[in-house]
Amino acid sequence: MSTHNKRIIAASLATATCSLLGTSVVAPVQAQEDPGWDFNTALLYYGESDGRVQDVSLNVLARRAFVDDRFLTLGLAVDTLTGATPSGALAYDGPQTFTRPSGLATYTTPANQTPLDDSFLDTRVALTAGWQQPFARLYSFNVGLSASKEYDYLHLGANLGLSRDFNKRNTTLSLGVAFSQDDLEPVGGAPLPLSAMLDVGDLSNRSGDQSKDVTDLVLGLTQVINRDLLVQLNYSFSKSTGYLNDPYKFLSVVDGSTGDPISRTPAPGDSGPLHEYRFESRPDERSKHSVYGQAKYNMSGKVLDLSYRYMSDDWDIDSHTLEARYRWPFGDRRYLEPHVRYYTQSAAEFYRIGLVDGATPPRFASSDYRLGDFDAMTVGLKYGWKTRSDNDMSIRLEYYTQDGSAPSDQIIGNQAGRVLYPDLDAIIAQFSYRF
């Protein structure tokens, strides 16, 4: 007891306590200080090959635990995007000149290259806030707000969720709704759907700002099957209305027999596109239904995470997503986690690689590769470890590739030998730190 001589009484005290209580302690104490705030941070690099999109993203998700399992969550994400993205125009044997989205200049794509819009440069800041708390004995609710701002885009959203536990909390039913309202202020104004790309300085086909509303509904069932198996089943419905176009995407107008772009001459003294292009036109409504299933299976410490999603919408797109993760711990403090993801989608009903000159223009048309028919694959590996101060760190490296094809009945004449679908290869690298 003396402060000068160390006296370790822990063992004697334990013995004395055992004889007092007449029992021995089964499990040793496990107590730790609640950090109060829990920070999840990540730095992500996403880079596409061939000078396409590069994104550096910094994310912070802070969670504060309060009395009675109530939680406040605050999120911040900052993205810096640079690079180029396919404009929707077809590759061609000769160079192609386009008017920039601003309508103030032109740029030229060399022969035999997929036209890319290189004016893609943006910073996005996104904020989220959420609150979650239990009520009554078996219920829990959460509310959240989100906002994000880009140069030409403003998003505001709100969400509300409710869940109830059943069967000794082995079953949870949940219901969530989310609303968002997005405003678009495209550079140079939003082009009228299917209007032609005009000469520099001519903004007569541009309209003012646009907006879209999205309503989401998610119904979920989570079920504990046994000590090692947990499954989740969700149904979700999402309805978007308003301006659903990508204001920067357009289609080539091609000759009905050769498949080559139709030439065009700018007005005297003006510069402008040397071929004909028309801006895309999508319906102003879209309804999506998805079914999502996930299983987490613990195999004596190793965890298999399997998920599948089926999505179908009224644009005629069907997609299947299969994902698997396998967390393989070694030692007490480290793990490796391989990840595979397979995705396949069918094309939207109005997906066109180009518009045929002279034919009756369709009401809706888009050559956005993301609405086409393609398969995608992700393979990745994550390595995670605990630091000396018991914080979690991880790095992951993934490779993402898209392989698409143009619908064969749309390929005309000379197009057969050209690249009609811009395939995509990307690297994802991420460093995460949780403290």
- Residues 283-312 binding another protein (CB under 8 A) are 288, 290-292, 294, 296, 298, 303, 305, 307, 309, 311
Using rule CB under 8 A, residue 236 touches another protein: yes
Q: Which residues pair with 326 in a beta bridge?
A: 304
Among 54, 119, 142, 234, binds another protein (CB under 8 A): 234
Pairing of strands 354-356, 250-254: parallel
Using rule CB under 8 A, residue 332 touches another protein: no
CB of 290 to another protein, least distance (A): 5
Which residue type occupies 253?
Answer: V
Question: Which range, of 27-35, 252-260, 269-277, 406-414, touches another protein by CB under 8 A?
Answer: 27-35
Which has the closest alpha carbon to 370: 417, 410, 424, 407?
Answer: 424
The pair of three-digit structure tokens given for residue 30, joined into one six-digit string? 């496990």
Q: 311 vs 340, which CB is nearer to another protein?
A: 311
Using rule CB under 8 A, residue 9 touches another protein: yes
Which has the closest alpha carbon to 170: 98, 230, 220?
Answer: 230
Asked if 69 and 34 count as a contact pair (C-beta separation under 8 A), the reply is: no
Gap between the Cα atoms of 61 and 77, Å rounded: 9
Give exposure, 151-162, as e/b (b: 16+ Cβ within 10 Å). ebeebebebebe
Gap between the Cα atoms of 425 and 402, Å rounded: 7
Q: 3 vs 204, which CB is nearer to another protein?
A: 3
Using rule CB under 8 A, residue 379 touches another protein: no
Using rule CB under 8 A, residue 388 touches another protein: no
Among 225, 322, 381, 419, binds another protein (CB under 8 A): 225
DSSP state of 84: B
Q: How many residues bind another protein (CB under 8 A)?
A: 125
The binding track of 389-408 with respect to another protein, each residue x by CB under 8 A or -, is -----x-x---x-x------
Question: Which range, of 193-201, 271-279, 370-378, 412-420, touches another protein by CB under 8 A?
Answer: 370-378
The residue count for the chain: 435
Using rule CB under 8 A, residue 155 touches another protein: yes
